[in-house]
Amino acid sequence: MRAGDRAYVTLREEITNGDLPAGTVLGEVEQATRLGVSRTPVREAIRRLIGEGLAVRRERGVEVTEVSLDNIRELYDVRVALECQAARLAARNRDPEVFETLEAAFDDVSGLLDDRDGLRRDYYALVARFDDAIDDAVDNPYLVAAMRTVRTHLARIRHMARSDRSRLLDAAREHALIVHAIIEGNGELAAHATHVHLYNSLSHRLAKAVSLEGHTADAVSPDEGDARETA
């Protein structure tokens, strides 16, 4: 792997993790020293981060962007548009077998969910498979790229609103319906079920985020590092 790619992956990971919080200035020399490479690959990595919107040029150097509650709403406005369309297209092109497997898994999910993080991780892995199946079925590189960008940004606010068990069970039912509609080839139902799912997801997150603001916002456990963000 090239040093430039490593620097990019590392920095992006640290930003989404929160290790590099919003407002952190990304000096080329500083990051180059820290990552053990020269300025050139770091420079490339930072430029890519700026291109994705994870960092911005400021008067003095570049710094990690903020993510506010308003940003969450904005991201969901884009997400609804993209993922409803994706569901619609997936219903048109889908391979039924893939989604039948997924449907069975979502129906069985109550047996999977436990308060122990290992099992929760299994659920997130299932959602990741769901996302991949959609990406694969839509077969549209532009749409997939746009969705990936939104997912990257949403991953940053994961720690602000961690889903609880009851929300995950609801989310599983919502996913099951989306998958069912896709199997039936019912694009409109798939799109609308996606809309419903994302509305509920956003409502849950906003409630969590607001209730956390102020007292324990920074004390939320930031585990589940690589879990995909779709509950």
Partner DNA sequence: TGCGCCTTCAGTGTATACACAAACGTCGTC
Partner DNA sequence: GACGACGTTTGTGTATACACTGAAGGCGCA
Nearer of residues 63 and 224 to a second copy, judged by Cβ: 63
* Residue 38 interacting partner from DNA, a second copy, none (CB closer than 5 to 8 Å by kind): DNA
- What does 89 interact with, of a second copy, DNA, none (CB < 5 to 8 A by kind)? a second copy
DSSP 190-208: HHHHHHHHHHHHHHHHHHH
| Interface map 61-100 toward a second copy (x if CB under 8 A) | ----------x--xx-xx-xxx-xx---x-----------
Provide the pairing of β-strand 62-64 with 55-57: antiparallel
C-alpha distances in angstroms, 179 versus 106, 129, 140, 197, 207?
Answer: 9, 12, 19, 12, 27
Residue 24 found at the interface with DNA (CB under 7 A): no
The yes or no reply on residue 40 touching DNA (CB under 7 A) is yes
Q: How far is the CB of 192 from a second copy (least distance, A)?
A: 14
Q: How far apart are CA 119 and CA 85, in angstroms?
A: 31
Residue labelled with tokens 């991953």: 155
Minimum CB separation from DNA for residue 145, in Å?
A: 20
Residue 48 or 129: which CB sits closer to a second copy?
Answer: 48
Residue pair 161/204 in contact (Cβ under 8 Å)? The answer is: yes
Residues that bind DNA (CB under 7 A): 2-4, 26-30, 37-41, 43-44, 59-62
